Amino acid sequence: MSLLNGFGGLYPGAPEADPVGTTVFRDVTLIALAGFLVIVLLLLPWLNPVGRQNETSLTPPGSVIVEMLWPKEMASDVDLWVQAPGEDPVGYRNMGEHYFNLLRDDRGQVDDATPINYETAYSRGIPSGEEVVNVYLYRLERGEAPIPVTVYVSVVTPKEHHRRNLLTRSVLLEHEGQEITIARFDLDLEGVLRGSIHTLARSLVNPEKPSGYRRPHGKGSG
């Protein structure tokens, strides 16, 4: 009888299917499906977890960014020099101190795979006190003087998380060995300018404590 009831709709003359058995089967199926959906919903957060942020990355450190450019068609070698308060100058002879690092030492068109003449330095954190930015003409190719150089200084403050331009200045370098102080300025720990920006000359290429770093010798070194 149960066999006939299970296939009641398939054979003519067979009795109607047991409504109780059909209901139980349907309920069990729905319960199993609901249980599967619950399991999937519970596993979703683990299948695609929200990335955890490192505590040190929640508040990115403020930085002072110094960029220098000169015409890409010029082969002359111009150098960027920067100095944080209480530290030795940073440039091609000394690529890094506690605060500042020179990221790119561009030697004009010598061993340069990029189409621009560009040097940049940045600080890890914002040093409190006076900072100095200089440009220096290391090598002048014949017929290229004067060399127009543009320097950008910007600050990323730790609270605002926003990069703002502090100054932009353009100068002309006319002979080898010429050094120009682009800016001297004083920042507090929040990147706020204290006082005014001035250009009272201070040599960073020939300081009292020169670094032991030496660039390669030969054509184009410097």
Q: Are 25 and 109 in a shared domain? A: no
Q: Are 6 and 87 in a shared domain? A: no
Q: Are 131 and 25 in a shared domain? A: no
- Condensed to tens digits (0 to 9), the pLDDT of residues 96-151 reads 899 999 988 887 766 666 778 999 999 988 888 899 999 999 999 988 999 999 99
Q: Is 136 exposed, middle or buried (0-12, 13-18, 19+ CB in 10 A)?
A: buried
Q: Are 22 and 128 in a shared domain? A: no
Minimum mean pLDDT among 22-36, 92-106, 143-157, 161-175: which range? 22-36
Q: Please say whether the beta carbons of 92 and 215 come within 8 A.
A: yes
Of the CA atoms within 13 Å of residue 94, those in its CB half-sphere come to 20
Q: Are 63 and 37 in a shared domain? A: no
By residue range, what is the domain housing residue 14? 2-47
CA–CA separation, 92 and 17 (whole Å) = 92
Q: Are 194 and 111 in a shared domain? A: yes
pTM: 0.65
CA–CA separation, 83 and 89 (whole Å) = 4
- Name the region of 25 (left: φ>0; alpha: ψ -120 to 50; beta: rest): alpha
Specify the pLDDT at position 17: 53
- CATH code for the domain in which residue 84 is found: 2.60.60.30
